[in-house]
């Protein structure tokens, strides 16, 4: 695969912002080089030291992908979903006109599709709203994201998009506990990536290749991913 790689993943840090339902992650030193030095590892004149970190986090913090099981009890868990689902042709739509706590509706998707000059047909669709640049790393990023309406989610499914991706902690806005996007994804058998970053670098690039593979988590309801875009 040629071209430049754009990292679409937020860095995982200790106590970083998380969705209102979820605990923030813990990422702290476990063993330090000083700790290893006290173990007297290696050989005389060439000691071996090292360092490790402790990670404690749920599977829906930072840049992550939802499994079908997260959206409905009959859906596949992350380890049951085919790897082919997590990579493919993609397009990024410019939706920066959508305000905080606004709605991304069908008309917005269609207008952005026309501007992108890519006919959505089985694409992974990334939605750039500018949320991350406006608010991260403040806590406001947790309760300012816009939402994807049920109608817009049906539109994406009707156009063969098995996955879409957004900035911020959810595809549904925090001011609406109806969760129209999640419920429609459940009903249509599609899913999404959440908390993507650097999407503004993809606007106007047309079609590109995306990959965001999950960890191989037993019965995972989702997974952190290192989401990447491969551009010419």
* Residue 41 pLDDT grade (very low, low, confident, very high; cuts 50, 70, 90): very high
Q: Long-range contacts for 52-55 (Cβ within 8 Å, ≥24 apart)?
A: 53/27, 53/28, 53/29, 54/26, 54/27, 54/28, 54/29, 54/30, 55/12, 55/25, 55/26, 55/27
Query: In Å, what is the CA distance from 123 to each residue of 71, 81, 210, 216?
Result: 21, 18, 10, 24
Structure token digits, residue 159: 């156009």
Q: For the chain, first and last CA: distance in Å?
A: 10
pTM of the model: 0.93
Instruction: Tell me the residue length of the chain.
Output: 232
Domains and CATH numbers, the chain: 26-56 (no CATH), 64-231 (3.50.30.50)
Spatial distance between the Cα atoms of 52 and 71, rounded to a whole number of angstroms: 34
Residue for token pair 């109608």: 151
Spatial distance between the Cα atoms of 11 and 98, rounded to a whole number of angstroms: 25
Mean pLDDT of the residues in the chain: 96
Coil, strand, or helix at residue 64?
strand
Q: Give 63-107 pLDDT, tens digit per residue.
A: 999 999 999 999 999 999 999 999 999 999 999 999 999 999 999
Q: Give 79-89 pLDDT, tens digit per residue.
A: 999 999 999 99
Structure token digits, residue 108: 């917005």
The C-alpha angle with vertex 188 and arms to 117 and 61, in degrees rounded to 5, equals: 80
Residue for token pair 């476990």: 30
Query: In Å, what is the CA distance from 41 to each residue of 44, 49, 104?
Result: 9, 7, 57
Spatial distance between the Cα atoms of 179 and 229, rounded to a whole number of angstroms: 28
The pLDDT of residue 51 is above 80: yes
The pLDDT of residue 154 is above 80: yes
Query: Which residues have CB under 8 Å from 121's CB, separation 6+?
Result: 159, 160
For 164-174, what is the mean pLDDT? 96
The pLDDT of residue 2 is above 70: no
Dihedral of CA atoms 106, 188, 63, 204 in degrees, nearest 10, equals: -40
* Residue 1 pLDDT grade (very low, low, confident, very high; cuts 50, 70, 90): low
Report the Cα 144 to chain-centroid distance in Å: 16
């Amino acid at each position: 695969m040629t071209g430049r790689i754009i990292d679409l993943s937020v860095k995982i840090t200790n106590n970083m912002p998380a969705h209102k339902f979820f605990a923030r992650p813990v990422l702290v030193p476990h063993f330090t080089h000083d700790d290893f030095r006290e173990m007297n590892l290696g050989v005389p004149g060439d000691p071996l030291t090292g360092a490790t970190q402790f990670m404690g986090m749920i599977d829906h913090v930072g840049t992550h992908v939802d499994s079908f099981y997260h959206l409905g009890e009959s859906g596949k868990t992350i380890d049951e979903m085919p790897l082919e689902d997590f990579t493919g042709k993609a397009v990024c739509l410019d939706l920066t006109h959508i305000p905080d706590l606004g709605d991304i509706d069908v008309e917005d998707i269609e207008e952005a599709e026309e501007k992108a000059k890519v006919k959505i047909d089985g694409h992974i669709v990334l939605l750039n709203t500018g949320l991350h640049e406006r608010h991260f790393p403040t806590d406001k990023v947790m309760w300012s994201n816009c939402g994807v309406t049920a109608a817009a989610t049906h539109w994406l499914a009707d156009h063969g998009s098995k996955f879409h991706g957004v900035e911020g902690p959810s595809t549904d806005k925090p001011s609406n506990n109806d969760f129209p996007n999640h419920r429609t994804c459940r009903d249509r058998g599609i899913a999404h990536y959440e908390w993507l970053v650097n999407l503004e670098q993809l606007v106007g690039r047309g079609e590109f290749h995306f990959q965001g593979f999950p960890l191989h988590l037993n019965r995972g309801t989702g997974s952190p991913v290192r989401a990447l875009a491969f551009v010419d």
